Every structure is written in C-alpha cells, then in structure tokens.
Structure 1
C-alpha cells in the first residue's frame, strides 16, 4: 500500500512541477496544412503542431500555440510575445539579422504553380514584361520573386488561398511557393493550373525553429532535441502521419523530399 501511495505521490509531484514550468509559447500561422492548421473544432493540428508539442515534452514545458499572421511572427518573437517560431520558416540571412535559428530540420526550394492559360513552361519564362506573379507577403517566395523576376509585375497577397485563386482564375501567370504547397494546390485546381516543380534557385532553403538571439541556452536545447528526434525516427513518424501521399508522389516524379 505504501509503494502505491509513493507512486501516486511521485506522479502528482511530477505533474505539479510540469504545470508550474513556464509555458513554451510557440508562434505559427495556422493556415498552412498539413504543417500548421486547425481541425474541425478549431484546435491547432499538423506536422509543426505535433513537433512543437514533442519539443515541449522534451523541455518539460507545457506548450501554448499562438496563431498569428506570418509577417508578425518575427516582431512578436523580438517583443517577447512568443518564445519561438515554428511555422515552416526558411532560414535567411535577412532574418538572421534579427533572430537566431536552430539547426535545419527540412530542406526545401521554391517552385511554380502556373495558370493553364499562361505561356510559362519554365520558371525563368516569368522574367518578362507583362508577366504577373502572385506571392505571399513575408515569405521567401516574395523575396526571391523580386530577385529572379525583376521584369515581371509582383502582386503581394496576405493569404496563400487568395494567391492561388488568382492563378486558377487566370488573373496572374503564376504563384511562387514551396513544392509541397504547389502540389497540394494543383490537386485542388487541376483543370486550370499546372505545377512546374523544377528548381530554379541556385541554393536550397532550409527550415529552422526561430528563437531570440539572447536565448542561447534554449537554442542549444532545441538543437539537442532535433538531433535526438531525428535519430529516434520522430520525423519519419510525422511524415507518415501527415505527408505519406506527398512523399510517395514526389518519389514517383523524382523530386527530392525535403523533410530530413
């Protein structure tokens, strides 16, 4: 009886200590399925949500998901409204001026969703007068478009869905985003759009978890978690849960899958 009491006491004390730990406030835009989205009840769900929860368990901290516009993630981190960014964010030199990133956990690149009425057959066909390109505000697609396609007109949208709709209605020639999203959106508009999954950047993009520059201890803990998580098959489990179909399709088309 005494042993049972001690077991229950240990569980109680563990739960008390966990609940008293400062929550890990994770910023993400819940508008990017299957990575960051909401279920039918409005609860956060997806690849990144599960990853954040597993990180919280590793750190011994309860996780709170803060949903916000993508462009507001870095300002919110810098003003301490959130503790980390885990929102399919690419590591860029410009962003690293403001915040730090973990080791990469995904290796991505940009691709094109083209209108079927456009003459675009190759990504660089977009760099011509009269071409219209839709991009999502604050994304690397937005930054890269101005660099690679200076002759085209760049139209900036706040939401991915709005940009894709412009392509499907043939109001713009193309939308620039990662291959996973391009493939997903093409499936929704097969009759009006074409995916051009050819890589046109000279370098790859890497996704990382963002944290404040002064939080070096947290950064080391995140890197230790990612290393252990990968070693123990955590990313494979998340991929099988959320991205199994996409992984098989990418393999069939000879396109590199980007989850490490």
Structure 2
C-alpha cells in the first residue's frame, strides 16, 4: 500500500471517529469518548513524534549493540518503520519493565515496545496492537543438573529471577517459586546468578532466551530440554483511550505483514526464525493461571 493511500485511510478513520463521538469529554462505562481519542492522535501528529517506552536491555527485542549508543532490536526496528511510514520521528524513553505501564498511564510515553505479552488483566487497563510476535515460555537452568527441575511442579521452593510484575514471575509464583526481582538488569546478570546458585531458574520467552545463551556461551546454563509452556502473543501497548492510534498502528502492522517486512525483521533478529507467525511446537498450556 502506498504512503499516499495510507494517509488517505488514516484521514478517513479520523473523520469517522470524530463524527461518531458522543458528548465531548464524557466517559461512558469507563470508556473514553472518540473526541478524546482523536485529540491524543492529533497531539502526536502536532508534535511530529511518537514517544516509546522500552528497556534497551532486552536482547534482541530492545538493546544497544556493544560499543554503540544507537538502540536497535526487533521491537525497536518495527516501531522505527511504523514511525517512518507515518512520517513521524520516534523518541525512545529507556526505563525498567515495572515502570513502563505506569509511565503510559501518566502520559509520559505514547506506546510501550518491549516484548509485552497480551493478557486479559492488562487489557482491562490498556489497549494492545495486533500481535507482531508469537512465542512461548521456557526456562534457563543450571547446565550440570537442570537445577533439579524436571516438571513445572518442581518449581516449588526454587528461586526464580525476574521482574516483579512480569507474566514470567506470575508463572513462577503460581508453581510455588520465590521470585528474586531485578531492576532492568542485563541478560548476563540473570544468567550468572543461575550459574552461581543465587537463583535456580529464569522463566522467559523462548526466542529471547535462546539468543541470550548463544550470545553468552561462557556461562554454564542451558534451556530446559523438556519444558515448553504458556503460548504467548506479544504486542505494542497503548493507553486505553488511544483508539485511533491503536487502529493506525494496526493498519501499518498489517501492511508490514503483507509486504514481508515483519518476517524479514524477525529473521534478522531471531537467527533466521520467523517469530511473526505462531510456532509449530507442541506447547503446554498452564491451567488455573489467570494473567
């Protein structure tokens, strides 16, 4: 789709949302009016910039290459391409995972791009784009003895490294593990703590963990060979009232999926693998866990 056609469609969306709005400034049933949603998008256009919250420490989704001050990664490059196609600049605000959603809520940032999983609980308070990544969870354990973990039930009493508010920490707690929390730590910190016995495991995304291990082969840890669980969909997060922004981001993502850009970027950052489509592996769903 040409940029001229995309711009025309965005204008149509804007007109439709403005025309269909109820009384200006009102909230009905906790939902923001179309006028407020229109204003949020218009503010971004007026500034000529979209402000994005990301960690800069999550390889290969969002990171700084060695000896470089230029952020890159799968999530980051998708956002750069979206901004380019919308004729916007993009500004990245670097912050810990536990600060991203609150910063979105306060208006400090417009969007979060950090391999964030779509969950029912998060959807109550935030808007999500269509998924740009499909994956599942695995765990890193000690190489010598798999941290004595042979099933998810063996997590009881173990120490799991993670962020305080992540889905991965919720999974660890669900099975009785103690979560040792970190503030925007890099992969080597997590992995060395498992190796040295300060923690027993790290639950995280399969693709991210696979590449972290490949980048740090000197650390004696491994992906658990038998445990593949919790299929996931990752998406960009936006304020609940940003209906127009969400529709516009989804429109560009659809264009990028259709023209192969998502697949190309995935293969670039995930070792030739296409994470932009659902995985073929048999992945265990976790029963009784509300996320």
Shorter-chain TM-score category? 0.7 to 0.9
Q: What is the RMSD of the two structures over their aligned residues, measured on CA atoms?
A: 2.5
Q: Across the two proteins, how many residue pairs are aligned to each other?
A: 229
* Pairing partner for 2:212 from 185, 207, 222: 185
Distance 1:47 1:127, change over 3 A: closer
Give a deviation string over 1:21-45, Cα, whole Å, max 9, x none: 5311111110012220113231111
Q: Provide the C-alpha distance between the structure 2 equivalents of 1:198 and 1:220, rounded to a whole number of angstroms.
A: 39
Q: Provide the C-alpha distance between the structure 2 equivalents of 1:181 and 1:120, rounded to a whole number of angstroms.
A: 23
Instruction: State the secondary structure of the residue aligned to 2:58.
Output: coil
Contact 1:134 1:163 in 2 (8 A): yes
Give the TM-score of the pair, scaled to structure 1: 0.79
* Pairing partner for 2:61 from 35, 41, 55: 35
Q: Provide the C-alpha distance between the structure 2 equivalents of 1:167 and 1:106, rounded to a whole number of angstroms.
A: 27
Q: CA deviation at 1:47?
A: 1.5
1:1-260 map, 5 Å: 21-39=47-65, 40-115=67-142, 116-129=144-157, 131-147=158-174, 149-150=175-176, 152-158=177-183, 159-161=185-187, 162-187=189-214, 188-189=216-217, 192-196=220-224, 198-201=226-229, 203-245=230-272, 247=273, 255=281
Worse overlay, 45-54 or 161-170: 161-170
Contact 1:123 1:200 in 2 (8 A): no
Q: CA deviation at 1:182?
A: 2.1
Distance 1:21 1:135, change over 3 A: closer
Give a deviation string over 1:73-115, Cα, whole Å, max 9, x none: 1111111111111111111122222211011111121101111
Q: CA deviation at 1:143?
A: 1.4
Give a deviation string over 1:112-144, Cα, whole Å, max 9, x none: 111124553534253334x22222332211111
Instruction: State the secondary structure of the residue aligned to 1:44.
Output: coil
Contact 2:194 2:221 in 1 (8 A): yes
Aligned to 1:12: none
Distance 1:123 1:184, change over 3 A: farther
Contact 1:112 1:197 in 2 (8 A): no
Q: Mind listing any 5+ residue stretches in structure 1 that lack a counterpart?
A: 1-18, 249-253
Instruction: State the secondary structure of the residue aligned to 2:57.
Output: coil
